[in-house]
Amino acid sequence: MSRPTTKDLAKVAGVSLATVDRVLNERPGVRQTTVERVNEAIKAIDFVRDISAANLARSKEYKLVFLLPDHDDEFIDLILEAIAEANRSLTHERTIVTIIRAPANDPRRLVEEIDKLSATEVDGVAVMTPETPQVRDAISRMDARGIAVVALVSNQPNAESAYFVGINNEAAGRTVGQLMARFTGEKHGSVLVLTETMQSRDSQERRLGFDVIMAKYAQRLKVCPSMETYGDSVRTAQIVRSALQSRPSIVGIYLMNHDIYEAMQAIEALSPLQNVVIIGHELTAHTCARLIDGTLDAVISQDVGHLVRSSIRVLKAKITSIGTVASQERIRIEITLRENMPEERQTVGR
């Protein structure tokens, strides 16, 4: 037979529809013993509320917010695009996603934005921002206000209320290490590591994983200390130049951030890049182009569309206290070479 309805539930529990409704929606005025009777009946007939009918009746809309850094780079652009796409297909599911931008490096303003969000206007929030104590506390306050929270891309390991949607950065670093070890063959020499800043937990974790594998499988290679670019193209050029000059035998470069435009420019301007293995992060128009032209050997990435859709699913699941399919929400650490690049990216120029 078909799915049991509230009517069936009422019959089995031996109560009226009104009481079933009171129990299901946790309305007051039901004796504890009756509540239990209904709950037993729910288990007995395996009753599950029909969410679409419920949403229809409530004419409820899920109001979700993505809180993103306010600087613009290709990765953020990808996320914005993915959100726009999700929004298009989610109109059919009573879900509205809006975007709030806030300075990632100004905790005060960030916290201000978070505290502004009221449970009456917002049901769930996906937060993409570096971990700081202030942010952690602001997240806890949101949770207390009854707003669902997920941490996007950057984990918030100390905010238990925030489910993490993203990859394990230490494993990502290990993966890069393994690729670097194997792609460099038997060669000896040194490996550069460039990052925007080592302040961020993500960078630290990636570096950690990278070092573990390099130590294990590529002792022939000397891994240099991380060089920080601070996103400054002049500084980047300078750093790269002096590194390439002082170390003649560079065989590999790990670009730990997705915004690698300046670094690549500086590198290319300076040396013939034959036989230097370069590995970067995230599948942007720029990295794709570099994969195709062969400058970049591999890219480690996470599916941005998946990140966004998964965040939305998890938020909605939290809001309705429904379970999620764990395997569907797992974000994979993707390795992309020129050969397995998604076809729609292969034509995208820079």
C-beta atoms surrounding 297 within 10 Å: 20
From residue 209 to residue 248, what is the string marking binding to a second copy with x (rule CB under 8 A)? Answer: x---x-----------------------------------
By the rule CB under 7 A, 53 interacts with DNA: yes
Quick one: tokens of 311?
Answer: 């965040």
Residues 6+ apart with CB under 8 A from 34: 15, 19, 23
By the rule CB under 8 A, 61 interacts with a second copy: yes
Judged by CB under 7 A, the residue of 6, 87, 105, 204 near DNA is 6
What 3-state class would DSSP assign to 241? Answer: helix
Element spanning 244, H or E: helix 233-246
269/160 Cα distance (integer angstroms) = 46
Judged by CB under 8 A, the residue of 85, 137, 143, 211 near a second copy is 85
C-beta closer to a second copy: residue 107 or 305: 305
Output the smallest distance, CB 136 to a second copy, in A: 24
7 binds, among a second copy, DNA, none (CB under 5 to 8 A by kind): DNA
Residues, the chain: 350
By the rule CB under 7 A, 58 interacts with DNA: yes
DSSP letters of 78-118? HHHHHHHHHHHHHGGGTEEEEEEEE-TT-HHHHHHHHHH--
By the rule CB under 7 A, 39 interacts with DNA: no
Angle formed at CA 124 by CA 114 and CA 139, multiple of 5 degrees: 40
334 binds, among a second copy, DNA, none (CB under 5 to 8 A by kind): a second copy
Binding site for a second copy (CB under 8 A): 2-3, 48, 50-53, 55-56, 59, 61, 82, 85-86, 88-89, 91-93, 168, 171-172, 174-175, 177-179, 182-183, 185-186, 209, 213, 297, 300, 303, 305, 309, 322, 325-328, 330, 332-340, 342-344
